[in-house]
């Protein structure tokens, strides 16, 4: 029997608390770039290992670093003075019994493909330098993959929750809308580096949005502020269509702007990302695995992106806990909010966590015993199917940022 513990929490769900803070870093944010690329490299390595060896071998590509370059943004179009540098880090198997996987080549090719698909103005041959620092793994961790039952490669914990609050949904939807293909067609000057911070006080929500404008589309200062006003109006309409219990939403875009200061008073970029000259990026500093940074929620400090999907519970349990929480919330009546905690012991099978815990906020008058059996059944079923879950994770079916 698995060690499953349930408890009832006597507190107010996050969406009904007085203050809530939620952040989302968009696809062009330096931290998101690192998370997305390192995860894509892990997926491609899994494919290469399966093709070459018939199984996934030890790797963790979760120490990526994006070093900012240097640009000179100008109205009408600036220049790139120094390229960005993307450093691939941590560990992977290169060779077994004479069969070799070109880890560095895979990493660079995958990064270039992702950049071409997601950052419209970044030329992967001119604007970024790639540096491979992926080294062979330690013998003990590598040996885990040789065992009949692959065990957890760390003693680690993960936590997930459901449902998302309206604030969390709106913050996530706002960034995805601004980075959608349709929005970019209407407003090509909107770069991919977008950050949304949501601050809710009771039933009022303030969205502070940072948008990296692409300078080649902005001929004058007047044009910048005209386009900014048009984007704000469109965004306010979008949010109004998606809000439900929130009574008022205020949108603020690029609050550092100051009209009359020329290029110094506008958020202009050459390539649409602050990584070109302003900010560095690093794996694990961005969004959590459900896409937001929700400060009212418990969260793991593990960086899921790039970790291997077979044994690294820092990745598996963080994604699985959210999946379990969602299934519990959707299938068991009477639950207002649920938190799922999973903790591993290194070397033990991943379907046998040290502890699986569910914390439940129940509808008034509902007793824990009334839902205990149904909640335990969901947790048991999901843990029993964990190897199907990790197969899907290895194929890249889940977003991790």
- How many CB atoms are closer than 10 A to CB 250? 12
Domains, the chain, in order of start with CATH, read 4-12+155-164+286-394 (3.30.300.280), 30-136 (3.30.300.10), 166-282 (3.30.300.340)
Model pTM? 0.93
- Across the chain, how many H-helices and E-strands are there? 9, 19
pLDDT at 149: 55
Q: Are 383 and 391 in contact (CB under 8 A)?
A: no
Give the E-state strand segments of 244-354 in sequence order. 248-253, 268-269, 281-282, 293-294, 335-343
For 90: left if phi > 0, alpha if psi spans -120 to 50, otherwise beta; the answer is left
Tens of each residue's pLDDT in the chain, 401 residues: 789 999 999 999 999 999 999 999 999 999 999 999 999 999 999 999 999 999 999 999 999 999 999 999 999 999 999 999 999 999 999 999 899 999 999 999 999 999 999 999 999 999 999 999 999 876 545 555 565 557 788 888 999 999 999 999 999 999 999 999 999 999 999 999 999 999 999 999 999 999 999 999 999 999 999 999 999 999 999 999 998 899 999 999 999 999 999 888 999 999 999 999 989 999 999 999 999 999 999 998 889 999 999 989 999 999 999 999 999 999 999 999 999 999 998 989 999 999 999 999 999 999 999 999 999 999 999 999 999 999 999 999 999 99
Cα–Cα distance between 269 and 131 in angstroms, integer? 24
- The β-bridge relationship of strands 268-269 and 59-60 is unpaired
CA neighbor of 270 nearest in space, from 130, 120, 125:
120
């Amino acid at each position: 029997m698995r060690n499953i513990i349930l408890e009832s929490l006597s507190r107010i769900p996050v969406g009904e608390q007085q203050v809530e803070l939620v952040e989302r870093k968009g696809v062009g944010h330096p931290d998101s770039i690192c998370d997305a690329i390192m995860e894509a490299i892990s997926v491609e390595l899994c494919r290469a290992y399966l093709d070459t060896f018939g199984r996934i071998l030890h790797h963790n590509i979760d120490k990526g670093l994006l070093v900012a370059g240097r640009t000179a943004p100008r109205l009408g179009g600036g220049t790139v003075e120094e390229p960005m540098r993307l450093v691939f880090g941590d560990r992977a198997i290169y060779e077994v019994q004479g069969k070799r996987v070109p880890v560095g080549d895979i990493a660079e090719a995958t990064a270039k493909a992702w950049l071409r698909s997601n950052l419209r103005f970044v030329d992967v041959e001119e604007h970024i330098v790639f540096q491979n620092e992926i080294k062979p793994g330690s013998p003990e961790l590598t040996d885990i993959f040789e065992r009949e039952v692959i065990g957890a490669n760390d003693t680690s914990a993960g936590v997930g929750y459901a449902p998302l609050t309206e604030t969390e949904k709106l913050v996530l939807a706002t960034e995805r809308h601004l980075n959608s293909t349709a929005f970019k067609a209407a407003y090509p000057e909107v770069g991919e580096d977008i950050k949304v911070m949501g601050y809710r006080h009771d039933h009022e929500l303030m969205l502070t949005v940072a948008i990296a404008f692409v300078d080649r589309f902005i001929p004058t200062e007047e044009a910048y502020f005209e386009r900014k006003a048009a984007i704000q109006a469109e965004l306010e309409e979008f949010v109004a269509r998606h809000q439900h219990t929130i009574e008022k939403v205020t949108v603020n875009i690029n609050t550092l702007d100051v009209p009359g200061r020329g290029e110094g008073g506008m958020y202009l970029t050459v390539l649409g990302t602050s990584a070109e000259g302003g900010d560095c990026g690093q794996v694990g500093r961005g969004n959590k695995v459900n896409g937001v940074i929700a400060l009212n929620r418990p969260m793991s400090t593990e960086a899921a992106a790039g970790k291997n999907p077979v044994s690294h519970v820092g990745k598996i349990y963080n994604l699985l806990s959210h999946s379990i929480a969602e299934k519990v919330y959707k299938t068991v009546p009477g639950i207002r909010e649920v938190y799922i905690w999973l903790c591993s012991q290194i070397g033990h099978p991943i379907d046998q966590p040290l502890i699986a815990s569910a914390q439940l906020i129940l509808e008034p008058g509902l007793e824990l015993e009334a839902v205990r059996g149904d909640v335990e059944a969901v947790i048991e079923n999901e843990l029993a199917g964990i190897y199907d879950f990790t197969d899907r994770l290895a194929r890249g079916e889940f977003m991790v940022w």
